[in-house]
Amino acid sequence: MEELITLAGLPNGKVVDTSLEVYVKYRKEEGDLLFDPFLYCQLVGSFNYLTITRPDISFIVQQVCQFMHAPRYLHLAAIHHIIRYLIGTPDMGLFFLANFSLKFIGYSDAVWAGCMDTRCSITGLCTFLGSALISWRCFLAELGYPQLEPTPLHVDNTSAIQVTANSVFHEWTKHIKVDRHSIRKAYDDRIISLPRHH
């Protein structure tokens, strides 16, 4: 962490409470291009490794990764903001209780056409092992633990749940046919379950 702070040139950086500025939308062509983008790429690469133990910065790291081909000063400011957040939260990380549950739970959310530049949709996923937030899904399988029951996947889209759980394929859903098949297969194979909330 100290090396990251030194690399960014922020040894006495002001501490902030959030990993990204609230209500700020970053765009590809806003502001002046960085004269030398190499430092930006170095810092983003370091963040990618850091998300393994700091999943709380995963979303904003995904955001700044989108600008690596042509970063601008506004994007570098976002990088500095992340570092100031990390300076203020040195003790944060993954915490596993001695007797924690080996049960997976997933939460997903999507923003339709959320990218300001391409109007592509943005999807996020949080995976918990017991009460601990982790950022990988095949961890237990690699350790030799079989999946004994479906992983609950909590989503906020009622239509997505209905399309996945309904074995009847309607004509009006054919535009999502390919993606729907992979999710439906995971549902049918009991890899995931879709808890319903009332």
Separation CA 110–CA 155 (nearest Å): 9
Separation CA 60–CA 100 (nearest Å): 28
> Taking 60 as the threshold, does the pLDDT of residue 169 lie above it?
no
pTM over 0.75: no
Query: CA-CA distances (angstroms) from residue 113 to 66, 116, 121, 155, 191?
Result: 15, 8, 4, 18, 28
User: Residue 40: pLDDT band by 50, 70, 90 thresholds?
Assistant: very high
What is the enclosing helix (H) or strand (E) of 46? helix 38-50
pLDDT tens by residue, 82-106: 999 998 888 887 777 777 777 888 8
Q: Which long-range contacts (CB under 8 A, 24 or more apart) does 16-22 make?
A: 16/81, 16/84, 16/85, 16/88, 17/85, 17/88, 18/85, 19/56, 19/57, 19/59, 19/60, 19/81, 19/82, 19/85, 20/59, 20/60, 20/63, 20/78, 20/81, 20/82, 21/78, 21/81
pLDDT tens by residue, 127-143: 887 877 776 666 666 66
Instruction: Give the per-residue pLDDT at 43.
Output: 93
Instruction: Give the per-residue pLDDT at 158.
Output: 73
> Taking 80 as the threshold, does the pLDDT of residue 111 lie above it?
no
28 against 174, higher pLDDT: 28
Instruction: Give the per-residue pLDDT at 188.
Output: 83
